[in-house]
Amino acid sequence: MTGAGDIRFVKVLIAVNGIVPLAMLGWDWNQGNLGANPIEFILSTTGYLTLIFLLLSLAVTPLRKMTGRNELIRFRRLVGLLAFFYGCVHLITYSIFDKSLDLSAIVSDVWERPFIALGMSALGIMLPLAITSTNGWIKRLGGKRWQKLHRLVYLAGIFAVLHFWLIQKSDFSWPIVGVLVLAALLIYRVWAKFAPKAGASAKA
Ligand code: HEM
């Protein structure tokens, strides 16, 4: 798969599939199928979707390097934007249904509840990354600076996993999965950065 048409087709496929969970959520809400507490269900589902797409976007580069399929990089921006999109739906759900759009209640929540502060920080980091994800911004910032800025996505990942962890009261199995996946991706990234250099200096 190298043709521009193929890439475009896969992008459309990812975008359509990425939106399906939201469509299903909307449909089930409309049908009254979201259980006793629909808002809690929507908040939880959009939170999971944000985290899944965020971790998937972080997995693209390791996958590309391990498989040698360089075209995978062409889908990273879209997956990252899906993460940001679900993060926004998550925040909007919280702001409207949990806080009735009361800005001062939201600010004091950020101040008083560390898991809210962490969620806000994760999404706050993702905002400039989403804005600068276009080719125009890559040119404007220059490749090196753009890459440095976009490394902040790992910090967003750390904040997001901590946010998820702090919400749990008893069952930590999914947050543990989140921590392990994020740790594996971070360790791979550090290893990929230093391993080739270590190999080269050993040869020298
Ligand atoms: C990258 C950003 C974020 C990610 C990945 C994320 C992830 C999650 C996940 C996975 C859950 C589900 C937890 C569960 O049901 O076990 C959740 C719940 C929640 N999130 Fe987020 N979140 C993010 C940002 C935010 C923001 C910006 C806010 C609001 C300011 C927020 C507020 C909440 C609330 C209120 C809950 C429900 C907590 C509860 O059930 O008691 N999150 N989030």
Q: Could you read off the pLDDT of 113-141 as tens digits, one per residue?
A: 999 999 999 999 999 999 999 999 999 99
- 193 Cα–ligand 1 center, Å: 32
Mean pLDDT, residues 31-60 taken together = 97
**How much is the pLDDT for 99?**
97
Q: How far is CA 191 from the centre of its chain?
A: 22
- 166 Cα–ligand 1 center, Å: 10
Mean pLDDT, residues 171-182 taken together = 97
Cβ–ligand 1 contact at 80 (below 6 Å): no
Say if CB 159 and CB 29 are below 8 A apart.
Answer: no
- Residue 1 CA to residue 13 CA, distance in Å, equals 14
Cβ–ligand 1 contact at 88 (below 6 Å): no
Cβ–ligand 1 contact at 166 (below 6 Å): no
Judge whether residue 82 has pLDDT over 70.
yes
The backbone torsions φ and ψ at residue 56, rounded to the nearest 5 degrees and listed phi first, read -65, -40
Judge whether residue 112 has pLDDT over 60.
yes
Q: How many CB atoms lie within 10 A of CB 23?
A: 10
Cβ–ligand 1 contact at 122 (below 6 Å): yes
Q: Could you read off the pLDDT of 154-167 as tens digits, one per residue?
A: 999 999 999 999 99
Per-residue confidence at 194, pLDDT binned at 50, 70, 90?
confident
**pTM of whole model > 0.85?**
yes
Judge whether residue 147 has pLDDT over 80.
yes
**How much is the pLDDT for 201?**
59
Cβ–ligand 1 contact at 56 (below 6 Å): no
Cβ–ligand 1 contact at 119 (below 6 Å): yes
Per-residue confidence at 4, pLDDT binned at 50, 70, 90?
confident
- 66 Cα–ligand 1 center, Å: 32
Per-residue confidence at 193, pLDDT binned at 50, 70, 90?
confident
- 11 Cα–ligand 1 center, Å: 27
Cβ–ligand 1 contact at 158 (below 6 Å): no
